[in-house]
Every structure is written in C-alpha cells, then in structure tokens.
C-alpha cells in the first residue's frame, strides 16, 4: 500500500512539539500521515474524517504500527467540530490540525470523480452516504450564470464565462458523466485558444466543483470558530491550505479574531520530492 505523503510534516511536528499526556485532534485524518508521529511521541490523538474509506485505512495502518492505544478514530465532518469534540473528547485540546488537501486515494481512485482521468464518475463527494449533490449534478443541471459564479469566485478561472458556455453546449449533446470527459472538454477549449499553463487546464474547474460539492469554505469557517472554544489557552491550531480562497478565509478569520499567525510554505526540497506540496501554505496560531 502506498500511503499519502503528508505535507509540511516536519513543520507540523515542530510547531506542535508533541509529548506524552498532550491531546490533539487531527480534523482531516486522511491516511494518518500527520497523526502517526504525534502518536509516536506518546500523545493522545483523536482522528476525524468524513470519508469512511480514509478512516478505515488510517485506523488499520495505525493498528498495524501498534500505535492504537492512544488513538481514537472519529467519523464526521469538521463543520460539526464543536459537537463532535463535546461528545467524544470534552476536554481542552493542546493542538488542532486541518490539512485541507485530498489524499492520494481520493485523487487517484477511478470511481470517486476527483481525478481528471476518472472514466467512471464525476461524483466528488467526500461522504457519498450523507451528501446528496454530486459534481455531475452541478455540471449537468446548473445554469450558465451559476457555473460562471462557481468557476470565477471560487477558483478564479480566467475563462469562466466561455467555459460555462462550452460545458452547457456539450451537455446538451450528451450528459457529462465522468471526470475524463469534463477534463477533455476543458483541455480542448484551452487548446483551441492556444493557451498553455503550468498545470493541467482542468485543475481550477475541478477544484471549484470539489469545494462546492463538499461545502468546504462554509465548513471551514464553522471549524475555525469552534477552535476558539475547544483548544486550551496557548494551545496551537494549524491549517494547511492548497487554494487562495481557503487561505484568504483563514487570514480574514485571524484578523477578525485578533489572532496573530505564522505562515510557512514547503521548502524547495519538499516540493522536489513531493510536487503535490507546491501550492500548500501553513498558517499557525495560538489561542489567547
């Protein structure tokens, strides 16, 4: 099994400075890449994830490493962070972590719809059981004006208007039901325009759809507010973002809350060995 490589791991561990008897909540457990070093330090970790597959995989991995004694897996979305904390933890945390990127399994799975090359799905739900709306629903039923708003406001796609028009034209010919077809529509549009970019042309559209389907910005706002109540004074909160909209939301929250933060980015070495880290930014703050 190839596990997701955690981003900014050294920086997270240095900032948390984990020790025995400290309590952490990893609100985006994923494959457990950040949680495992915390457990190795002797700390107690509550690992939260809305994705059943990720939760099961991380729990199995941690158990195989004989680190399960002080590990508590929790199922749920961090939009409900305060109520989950009250039910399962109910004592002030020493640290709280959010890593807002997808893990490798989600990115590459051929039936989740996150991948540009997914031939079977355009789903993009992190929790298919409890989330009714998929990216396929949005792409095939949303008006041109609403598609434009999603693409332009969330991911700042330069060609939001003509791409919205192109997607509607294509869906009228045949419903768009897979990641690979949507990506091909976007790539062909860029090719027609003779525009090149450093990343896949479909990146921003897929990102905007994922954030919309999973209500990620609103959920993050709720979780940041909850951090003020569940982390002890001088306890630390770490947020790793991969998108300017997410980082801007965190920055505005900190300013409005009167909190000072530390911002870090991956080193050149980390980016060279893990290219997926290139867009990551870490903001860290302590509770007053």
- DSSP string covering 124-137: --S-TTT----HHH
Residues 6+ apart with CB under 8 A from 136: 113, 121, 122, 123, 175, 176, 177
Spatial neighbors of 242 by CB under 8 A, at least 6 apart, are 100, 101, 279, 280, 281
Residue 276: pLDDT band with limits 50, 70, 90: confident
User: Rounded to whole angstroms, how far apart are CA atoms 49 and 28?
Assistant: 5
Going from N- to C-terminal start, the domains of the chain cover 9-105+216-286, 132-213
Q: What percent of the chain has pLDDT over 90?
A: 88
Topology, domain 9-105+216-286: Rossmann fold (3.40.50)
Task: Let me know if 132 is exposed, middle or buried by CB neighbors in 10 A (0-12, 13-18, 19+).
Answer: exposed
**Per-residue confidence (pLDDT) for residue 196, from 0 to 100:** 86
* pLDDT attached to residue 107: 78
The pLDDT score that the predictor gives to residue 244 is: 87
Per-residue pLDDT at 3: 84
- Grade residue 263 by pLDDT with cuts at 50, 70 and 90: very high
Query: What distance, in Å, lies between the first and last C-alpha atoms of the chain?
Result: 41
Share of the chain above pLDDT 70, in %: 100
- Topology match between the domains 9-105+216-286 and 132-213: no
Report, as an integer, the average pLDDT of 243-272: 94
**pLDDT, tens digit, 9 for 90 and up, residues 206-221:** 999 999 999 999 999 9
Q: What is the mean pLDDT of residues 57-82?
A: 97
- Whether 31 and 54 have beta carbons less than 8 Å apart is answered as yes
CATH class of 132-213: mainly alpha
Overall pTM > 0.85: yes
Please give the average per-residue pLDDT across 54-58, as a whole number: 95
Confidence label for 179 from pLDDT (cuts 50, 70 and 90): very high
pLDDT value at residue 275 = 86
Q: Average per-residue pLDDT in the chain?
A: 95
């Amino acid at each position: 099994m190839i596990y997701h490589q955690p981003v900014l791991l050294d920086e997270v561990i240095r900032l948390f400075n984990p020790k025995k008897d400290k309590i952490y909540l990893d609100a985006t457990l994923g494959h457990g890449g950040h949680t495992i070093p915390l457990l190795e330090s002797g700390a107690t970790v509550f690992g939260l994830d809305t994705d059943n597959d990720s939760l099961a995989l991380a729990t199995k991995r941690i158990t195989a490493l004989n680190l399960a004694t002080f590990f508590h897996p929790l199922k749920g979305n961090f939009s409900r962070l305060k109520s989950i904390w009250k039910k399962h933890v109910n004592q002030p945390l020493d640290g709280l972590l959010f890593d807002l990127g997808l893990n490798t399994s989600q990115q590459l799975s051929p039936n989740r719809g996150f991948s540009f090359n997914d031939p079977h799905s355009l789903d993009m739900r992190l929790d298919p059981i409890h989330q009714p709306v998929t990216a396929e629903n949005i792409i095939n039923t949303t008006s041109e004006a609403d598609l434009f708003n999603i693409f332009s406001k969330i991911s700042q796609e330069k060609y939001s208007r003509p791409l919205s028009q192109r997607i509607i034209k294509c869906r009228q010919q045949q419903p768009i039901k897979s990641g690979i077809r949507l990506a091909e529509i976007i790539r062909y549009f860029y090719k027609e325009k003779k525009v090149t970019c450093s990343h896949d042309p479909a990146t921003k559209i897929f990102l905007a759809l994922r954030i919309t389907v999973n209500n990620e910005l609103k959920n993050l706002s709720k979780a940041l507010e909850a951090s003020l109540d569940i982390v002890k004074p001088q306890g630390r909160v770490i947020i790793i973002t991969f998108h300017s909209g997410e980082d801007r939301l965190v920055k505005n929250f900190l300013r409005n809350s009167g909190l000072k933060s530390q911002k870090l980015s991956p080193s050149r070495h980390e980016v060279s060995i893990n290219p997926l880290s290139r867009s990551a930014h870490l903001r860290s703050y302590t509770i007053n």
